[in-house]
Amino acid sequence: MTPVACRYCGLPFKVRRVEPGRDYFCCTGCAMLARVPVDADGQFPVNAHLVSALVVGFLYFNQLLFWLLGLLSDRDAAHAAVATRLHWMAAAAALAVWAGVFWLQRRERSGRAADGIVVILVLGVHALAFRTLPPSAACMAAANAALLLWSARGVLRAKRSG
């Protein structure tokens, strides 16, 4: 394993092979942020990388919203059918978030073996959430939060240390 530095945050990590002229990123968050150009005034154009990140964030927000609305609807027995639908919508949004992060890791070419393991573990947690019907939206929300934090670990570590 050869040590390299992330092009965006500068944090060191190891890769199997170093290819000359290739940019290396420690996580998907760093890869996406490095590909969103910012001018001297702090303005940035809308590009595919930014839109992809916003879509995943929007899906996660909706997952949390459906879960919260389902919890609030559970309090009233008259709204049990609505609560069940909201929990199913939260589960669908959770799977969409997982698929979005998986797709982003592949598209940005920032995924390494550890990223693949985390993605598979989160998918396993999602599968475990389906032991009850409707699936456990809390379990899926926590798993997706961990996946999103893992995918942006370089950006978060760089902010904490700098």
Residue range 70-79: mean pLDDT, rounded: 91
- pLDDT, position 161: 58
CA-to-CA distance for 87 and 63, rounded, in angstroms?
A: 9
pLDDT range class, residue 159, cuts 50, 70, 90: low
Residue type, 73: S
pLDDT at 162 over 60: no
| Model-wide pTM > 0.75 | yes
pLDDT band at 22 (very low <50, low <70, confident <90, very high): confident
The 8-class DSSP code of residue 4 comes to: E
State the maximum Cα–Cα separation within the chain, in Å, rounded to a whole number.
64
Return the domain boundaries, the chain: 47-161
Region 18-43 average pLDDT: 87
What's residue 138's pLDDT? 95
pLDDT number for residue 160: 60
When pLDDT is averaged across residues 50-61 and rounded to a whole number, the result is 95
Residue 132: pLDDT over 80: yes
* CA 60 – CA 79 distance, rounded (Å): 24
**77 pLDDT higher than 70:** yes
